[in-house]
Amino acid sequence: MECHFCNQKREGLPFRCNFCGESFCSDHRLPENHACPRVGGPKQPGHSEVIRYRPNNSERGAVPFVRSGRSRFRFRYTGIFSKVEEKHVVAASLVVALSGVLTNWMIAPSPLVNPSILFFTVAIPAYILSFLGHEISHKFIARRNGMWVEFRTTLYGLLLTAVSSVFLVKFLAPGQIEIHGNGSKETVGGIALVGPSFNIAVGALSILVSGFLGTFFGPLLVEIAWFNAWMATINLIPLGSLDGSRVYKWDKTRWAIALAASIFIVILSYYYFYRN
């Protein structure tokens, strides 16, 4: 195969970019390595337009028409996650959703919310969206700064998240993000901080709204707030490859404020659980 970026013939399977649609070698398969114009745009280092071959009018008659196997009515994926990343996101989402649903039985002697069909219909998407929102927030800020973020599950992260599902204290970090591209400490720290900040915002909003709802949605929103606060708290721990290590290196004050806010929401949630 011939790489669209380096124009060299390499052995092995071609890697097709999910964003620009071109084929690349293993060295240039990532968007930042072939200056993908669909990711980061002119901010991307080494940005260059992807040139596609388009036959002129004299050549059109000689080019055979091949009907695409894709339906024109088929939903087209916008490319938030790469093909490899999709598998990691699905696995992590399932484990996180399991941990969130079991919260209903772990925080009190009896289920805090009646485990009806409505409960599972609302709770499972809410927990999955809490996790996806965390990861998409990382990607959004990274793209605005001409960088690229990939989520990858880790074996110990998945195991700890699954095991903690049956305990009151949750470990909600089934994986880690890999930040690609050249960025300052401030940029990398901001990319890492936005994920926990999303969970803190969801947790605070859920706590505030829960007081105005009934006996079903009120407690359920508190559970969602508790879940998001734990996710933010765990990810803000300044160890290893967690978000907290990058934020702590960038700005200790912002790290401390975010961690204090997440812990405060956890305490508020506990107060609600045991008060009721």
Task: Say if residues 189 and 250 touch (Cβ distance below 8 Å).
Answer: yes
Residues forming beta bridges with residue 178, ordered by sequence position: 150
Q: 3-state secondary structure string, the chain?
A: CECCCCCCECCCCCEECCCCCCEECHHHCCHHHCCCCCCCHHHCCCCCCCCCCCCCHHHHCCCCCCCCCCCCCCCCCCCCCCHHHHHHHHHHHHHHHHHHHHHHHHCCCCCCCCCCHHHHHHHHHHHHHHHHHHHHHHHHHHHHCCCEEEEEECHHHHHHHHHHHHCCCCCCCCEEEEEECCCCHHHHHHHHHHHHHHHHHHHHHHHHHHCCCCCCHHHHHHHHHHHHHHHHHHHCCCCCCCHHHHHHHHCHHHHHHHHHHHHHHHHHHHHHHHHC
Q: Is 135 a catalytic residue?
A: yes
Task: Say if residues 134 and 199 touch (Cβ distance below 8 Å).
Answer: yes
Q: Which of 32, 85, 135, 150 is catalytic?
A: 135
Closest CA to 247 of 260, 228, 229, 266: 260
How many other β-carbons are positioned within 10 Å of the β-carbon of residue 21?
A: 11
N-to-C CA span, the chain = 65
Catalytically annotated residues:
135
